[in-house]
Chains A and B, each alone.
Chain A
Amino acid sequence: MSKLVERFGPDERFPHMTMAICFILLAVSGMGLFSKDLSFLTAVMGGPFIAKWLHLVAGSVFACCNLYFIFRWRSCMKIKEHDIAWLKEGGGLFSRGAHGKLPPSGRFNGGQKVLFRVTMSLGLLLAVTGLFIWFPKILPKALMAWLYPLHALLALGLMTTMLAHIYMAIWFVPGSFRSMWGDGMVEEAWMKYHHRKYYDYKTTE
C-alpha cells in the first residue's frame, strides 16, 4: 500500500453527497410524476402528494448545490490545451492500454471538465424550468405548455449523463469511489496515474 493523498476535501464531499441524494430523489419522484404508467415510483415514496413535495424540496437543494459547485470548482474546471489533446485521444475510454498515450491531466481531466459543464448547465436549466412548472402562472400559457416536455428532455439528458458518471465512479476507475464517498483519500499511485500534472504540481510545491 502506497502513501495516501487527499483527493476531495469535506467541503466537496458533503455537498456532492447532498447533491447525489437529491438527484436520486428527483429522478425517482420525477419519473413517477411524469406519467400515470410510472406511478409505482411515487407509491414507493409514500404517494404522489409526498413525491411532489419531495421533488420540489430536493430540487431546491439540488439547485443550491449546483450553484455551489459552479463557484467551488470555477478555477479548476477551465478547459486547457492539454485537456483538448486528452479529449482528442478519446480519454483512453475506448481501447485497452490507451491510457498510456494520454497527455497528463490536472486536478480534473478533459472528460471530467466536459461532464462538469454539461451537468451544471443541465442542472441550472432544470432548476429554471422546474421553478416555472412550480409556479405556472408566471409565463404565458402558450410558452408554459412547452416547458413540460423541455424539462423532461433535460432530465433525460441529466439522467443519462449521471448513469455514465456513476458507472465511471463505481466500476471503470477503481479507487475513485473512496475519494468522493469515503474519506476523500486516494493512493499516491492513483493520483500519479490519473492526474499526473496535478501530482507533479503538488509534490514539487
Chain B
Amino acid sequence: MAKMGMLVDVTKCIGCRSCMVACKQWNKLPMDKTSFSGTYQNLPDRTFTTWRLVEFQEVTERSGQMNWHMLSHACMHCNDAPCVKACPVPGAMEQSATGYVTVDQKKCIGCKYCMVACPFNIPKYNEVSQTVAKCTFCPSRVENGLTTACSKACPTECITYGKRDDLVAAAKVRVAVMKERYPNVQTYGIDAYGGKGTNVIYVLKEKPEFYGLPKEPSTNAVVVWKDVVKPLTGLGLGATIVGLIAHAAMRGRDDYRQEKGEVEDE
C-alpha cells in the first residue's frame, strides 16, 4: 500500500498556529495552561493533550533585525517505527499499512518504553490515565478520504498531506528553489534510519540541530533489545534447560544415602 505522509515546509510557515488549533479541535483535546516564558511559543514541549506544537526559534540576523524560525513539529510517523517495536502490548501502538502510527488508549499500559524509544520525544505520559498520547495522523479523517486536520487548516500550505513519494519529490524541488534565499535549506526525514525514512518529512531552513531535532535519529538500542537480546534470551534459556537435562541423565544425583548404602551408586 502506498505510504501516506505530510510535508512540513518551514519556508512557508507564518507561525499562525492554525495547525495546533485544528489538531485540538478535531481530536477533542482540552487546553493546556500556559505561562509567559519570554517566547512566542505556547508551551515548552508537546503534552498529553497538545500533540502538535509550533516551535519558535528567535534569532538576531546579522543586520540586527530579529527573526523567527518556526517549525510545526509533531509525530514523524517513522517507517518501521521504534515506538511500535518497543511497545510490549499487541494493538497498543500500531502502524497502519499506509504508515501512520496510532496509540490505543484502552490498551496502553503506560510502560513508557515508546517514550524512550522515540528519537523525537513525541509520546507524552499522563499520570491519571497511565497512558501515553501523541499525534495519530487523524485516522478518522484520512480513512474517510479527508486530509489531516492540521494540513487542512494550514493557510499557507506549509503543511500538505499526500502520497509520501509525491511529497518527497515536492520537498526536493522546494529545496532546489529555496537554496538561493536560504543557503542551509534541506530536507529532513526522507532518508532517516538508513533509508527507511519517516512519513512526515520536513523542509528546514537551517540544520536539524538548530530546531532541536536529532541529526541522525537512531533506533540502535531498540534494535539490539528486540532483535539481538530477545532471540538470545530464547537461545540461552533453551540451552540451559537442555544442559540441565543432559546433566541429570549423565551425572545422576548427588545422594548422601549412597555412603550408607541405602541407595545404589547411580
Contacts and interface: CB of A to CB of B under 8 A. Distances in A.
B256 interface: yes
B87 A36 contact: yes
B89 interface: yes
B153 interface: no
A201 interface: no
A171 B253 contact: yes
Interface in B228-265: 228-230, 232-233, 236-237, 240-241, 244, 247-248, 251-257, 259-260, 265
B230 A35 contact: yes
Given A93-B251, A167-B247, A173-B254, 10 more contacts: A93-B247, A95-B251, A149-B228, A152-B230, A155-B233, A156-B229, A156-B237, A171-B253, A172-B254, A189-B257
Contacts of B88: 32-36, 39, 42, 48
B244 A194 contact: no
26 contacts: A32-B88, A34-B88, A35-B226, A39-B88, A39-B90, A48-B107, A48-B109, A49-B109, A96-B252, A136-B116, A141-B116, A141-B121, A145-B220, A148-B113, A148-B222, A148-B225, A149-B224, A149-B228, A152-B233, A153-B229, A163-B240, A167-B244, A172-B251, A173-B253, A174-B255, A189-B256
Contacts of A178: none
Contact of B248 (A48, A136, A141, A167): A167
Interface residues of A, number: 45
B116 A148 contact: yes
B112 interface: yes
Contacts of B232: 153, 156
Contact of B253 (A31, A174, A187): A174
Interface of B: 86-90, 92, 107, 109-113, 115-117, 121, 130, 220-222, 224-226, 228-230, 232-233, 236-237, 240-241, 244, 247-248, 251-257, 259-260, 265-266
Contacts of B87: 36
Nearest to B119: A141
A94 B260 CA distance: 22
Contacts of B110: 49, 52
B260 A48 contact: no
B226 A145 contact: no
Given A94-B251, A96-B252, A160 B257 contact: no
A83 B58 CA distance: 68
Contacts of B221: 145-146, 148-149
A33, A99, A152, A155 — most chain B CB neighbours (10 Å): A152
Interface string A68-98: 0000000000000000000000001111110
Interface residues of A: mostly helix, strand, loop or mixed? helix
Interface residues of B: mostly helix, strand, loop or mixed? helix
B107, B111, B253 — most chain A CB neighbours (10 Å): B111
A68 B114 CA distance: 34
The 7 lowest CB-CB distance pairs between A and B, nearest first, are A145-B221, A193-B256, A149-B225, A160-B240, A49-B109, A33-B88, A152-B229
Contacts of B241: 163
A39 B107 CA distance: 12
Contacts of A193: 256, 259
B91 to A, nearest CB: 9
Interface in A25-44: 31-36, 39, 42
A15 interface: no
A144 interface: yes
Interface in A134-177: 136, 141, 144-146, 148-149, 152-153, 155-156, 159-160, 163-164, 167, 171-175
A193 to B, nearest CB: 4
Contacts of B254: 92, 99, 172-174
